[in-house]
């Protein structure tokens, strides 16, 4: 019995996500991907016209699957609470801390990616979740710029884990600083009440 085309496509995208995250776009060939997926190159080209199309589809697949999980946290029928903010920030922090494929692909794109690709992904994948996050911040932290605050929180989370190899050797480091719940608690406190005196 043959696999449905959508299942094969999803399997290819999951496989290539790991390859692109680990090795980067340039180091992975369509032949490598076909071999790893147990397909002939012709069968792979049946699903994706070229490597760029496959890479674009892979990024969209990875980012969309993680973003949909985050968006579901924000499906609150307009009810805004500190608990929702904490749950969202914690969920995002866990993804960045533990999902190496997501984090590596995102960092590779931020460093060396196509600006047009990121604009398209922002519009098609990230926009709705970001808009909901921004609305939550606007309701819970009046007087703060919700757009700037949302971007700053995202940047802190990405930077915190991306900077880990250096951060862990600096004075004052504690193992607890690597825990997603510790970082999420700190960020939510900063946004809602300001820093401790």
Encode pLDDT of 5-42 as tens digits: 578 899 999 999 999 999 999 999 999 999 999 999 99
Whether residue 1 is predicted with pLDDT greater than 50 in this model: the reply is no
Average pLDDT over residues 110-123: 91
Instruction: Output the CATH code of domain 60-193.
Output: 1.10.357.10
What local confidence, expressed as pLDDT, does residue 38 receive? 92
Q: Are 83 and 136 in contact (CB under 8 A)?
A: no
How many CB atoms are closer than 10 A to CB 44?
Answer: 20
What local confidence, expressed as pLDDT, does residue 196 receive? 60
Whether residue 46 is predicted with pLDDT greater than 80 in this model: the reply is yes
State the angle between helix axes of 146-162 and 82-98 in degrees (0 to 180), rounded to the nearest 10. 30
CA atoms 87, 80, 139, 60: torsion sign: positive
Using a pLDDT cut of 90, give the percent of the chain over it.
87
What local confidence, expressed as pLDDT, does residue 113 receive? 85
What local confidence, expressed as pLDDT, does residue 4 receive? 54
pLDDT-based confidence at 78, cuts 50/70/90?
Answer: confident
Distance between the two ends of the chain, CA-based, in angstroms? Answer: 66
- pTM of the predicted model, to two decimals? 0.89
- Provide the mean pLDDT of the chain: 92
What local confidence, expressed as pLDDT, does residue 195 receive? 64
Give the phi and the psi of residue 74 in degrees, each rounded to 5: -90, 0
- Alpha-carbon dihedral of residues 14, 20, 22, 27, nearest 10 degrees? 140
What local confidence, expressed as pLDDT, does residue 2 receive? 47
What digits encode the pLDDT tens for the residues 49-74?
A: 999 999 999 999 999 999 998 999 99
């Amino acid at each position: 019995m043959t696999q449905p085309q959508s299942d094969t496509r999803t399997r290819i995208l999951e496989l290539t996500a790991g390859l692109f995250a680990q090795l980067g776009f340039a180091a992975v060939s369509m032949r490598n991907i076909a071999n790893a997926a147990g397909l002939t190159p012709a069968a792979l080209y049946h699903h994706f016209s070229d490597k760029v199309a496959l890479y674009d589809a892979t990024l969209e697949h990875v980012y969309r699957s993680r973003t949909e999980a985050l968006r579901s946290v924000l499906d609150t029928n307009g009810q805004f609470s500190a608990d929702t903010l904490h749950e969202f920030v914690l969920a995002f922090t866990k993804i960045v801390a533990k999902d190496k494929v997501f984090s590596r692909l995102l960092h590779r794109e931020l460093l060396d990616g196509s600006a047009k690709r990121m604009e398209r992904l922002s519009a098609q994948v990230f926009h709705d979740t970001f808009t909901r996050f921004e609305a939550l911040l606007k309701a819970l932290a009046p007087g703060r710029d919700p757009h700037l605050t949302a971007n700053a929180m995202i940047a802190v989370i990405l930077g915190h884990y991306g900077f880990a190899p250096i951060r862990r050797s600096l004075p004052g480091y504690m193992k607890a600083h690597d825990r997603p719940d510790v970082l999420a608690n700190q960020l939510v406190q900063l946004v809602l009440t300001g820093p401790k005196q």
